[in-house]
Amino acid sequence: MNERAQIFVDQFGTRKGPGNPNGGPNWQPEEGKFWLLAWQGRVDLWKVFWVYFFFGHGIVLGLGCGLIVFSMLAGFAIDPGSIVSGAKGLAVGLAVLALVFLVFAVWSMVSVWRCADNCTVKIRGTYARVIMVGYATALALPVVNFVWV
């Protein structure tokens, strides 16, 4: 080592890095809205990928299926003798689910992409970005097929 080499001493524990993923002894996790911190890329990759992206899809789809059933039943409750009112309620539930799912999908893809550098093993960030490209492609293919066919 050169005697003129600079040495960085993390006196206040504010620097995060590969050798010190959680910061120094005085490091505190960032506080704020989880969705905003993830959107800005300030959350660990494992949390964004597994908790928000992977399990978040299950939560959104599970609540969406409940919403679809509820909206169909609400349609039947408005006019019990008509199947058309149940179908209208079902269509409203599907439209709301599609909108919520689209917003969630965009948020989760952008969050995973931006947080891909927040991990100790950098190849995992690359894997996460490759998965996001595949996910975006899988979401775009039905739209492309619908438009051009």
pLDDT digits (tens, 9 = 90+) for 107-148: 999 999 999 999 989 999 999 999 999 999 999 999 899 898
* pLDDT, average across residues 57-77: 95
- The answer to whether the beta carbons of residues 111 and 38 sit under 8 Å apart is yes
Q: In angstroms, rounded to a whole number, what is the distance separating the alpha carbons of residues 104 and 82?
A: 34
Distances from the Cα of 76 to the Cαs of 25, 55, 64, in angstroms? 60, 32, 18
pTM: 0.77
Burial of 32: CB neighbours in 10 Å, binned 0-12, 13-18, 19+: exposed
- How far is residue 83 CA from its own chain's centroid? 37
